Amino acid sequence: MILDLKRIFAGEGNSLPIDYTLSLSDFELYGNYPLKTPIKVKGEIFNKAGVVNLALEIKYNFSAPCDRCGKVTTHEHTVKVDKMLAASLQRQESDTIIEVPGMKIDVDEFVYGEVVLSLPTKHLCKEDCKGLCETCGKDLNTGNCDCKKKDIDPRLAPLMDLLK
Ligand SMILES: [Zn+2]
Ligand SMILES: [Zn+2]
C-alpha cells in the first residue's frame, strides 16, 4: 500500500489514519511460515508543527516450534513505531527519520521491515519449558524420564557396582 503524503506535508494539523491488515503468510523462516495470521497495523501519519510523524502499532502472531521442546507455539508481539518522515534527508541515515522520496511511503514494505527486525530470537512455549530429554527424547514438561537415574558419573560406576 503506497500512501501519497503530499497533503500531510502541506499543512500543519493534517493527518491520515492507518488501520489495515497485511498478510505475510508467505514469509519463510527456517522452513516454517511463522506469520500465518494477518499483521494488524494501526496508527496515523500526522503533521505536528510542520513535522510529519509516523506513529504505528504493529501486532503480529509468531507461530513456530518451541526452541526447547519443539511444540508449535504462538505468541503475540507488538512493535511500536514512532518516526519522523522527511521528503529528503540532509544528513546521513537516521534511526528516527525516514526518508520518503516524492512524499510517498510504501507502508507494506515499511511494516515488513519492522516485523522482520523485531522477530523473536528466543521462542519458548512457556518461560520455564523443560525441553526434551537428550537421551530418550521424552518431553520433560509431561514428567521425568528414567534416564537421569541411569546416567551416573562414570567415576562412581565401580562404586555403584559394589553396592549391588
Ligand atoms: Zn517448550
Ligand atoms: Zn530420558
pLDDT of residue 153: 65
**Per-residue pLDDT tens digits for 57-104:** 999 999 999 999 999 999 999 999 999 999 888 776 677 899 999 999
φ, ψ of residue 89 in degrees (nearest 5): -100, 130
The rounded distance, in Å, linking the Cα atoms of 8 and 31 is 41
Tell me the three state secondary structure of residue 162.
helix
pLDDT of residue 108: 97
Q: How far is the CA of 137 from the centre of ligand 2 (A)?
A: 6
For the chain, which ranges sit under pLDDT 50? none
Q: Which residues pair with 56 in a beta bridge?
A: 43, 81
The residues placing their C-beta within 5 Å of ligand 1, an ion, are 66, 68-69, 125, 129
Q: How far is the CA of 112 from the centre of ligand 1 (A)?
A: 27
The count of C-alpha atoms lying within 13 angstroms of the C-alpha of 144, restricted to the half-sphere facing its C-beta, is: 5
Tell me the three state secondary structure of residue 117.
helix
Q: How far is the CA of 5 from the centre of ligand 2 (A)?
A: 60
The rounded distance, in Å, linking the Cα atoms of 120 and 78 is 11
Q: How far is the CA of 68 from the centre of ligand 2 (A)?
A: 14
Cell of 83: 518516526
- Using an 8 Å Cβ cutoff, are 12 and 47 in contact? yes
pLDDT of residue 131: 96
pLDDT of residue 2: 95
The rounded distance, in Å, linking the Cα atoms of 156 and 121 is 39
Q: How far is the CA of 133 from the centre of ligand 1 (A)?
A: 12
- Using an 8 Å Cβ cutoff, are 23 and 39 in contact? yes
Cell of 97: 527519520
Q: How far is the CA of 125 from the centre of ligand 1 (A)?
A: 4
Q: Which ligand lies nearest the alpha carbon of 64?
A: 1
pLDDT of residue 71: 95
Q: Which ligand lies nearest the alpha carbon of 125?
A: 1
The rounded distance, in Å, linking the Cα atoms of 121 and 113 is 16
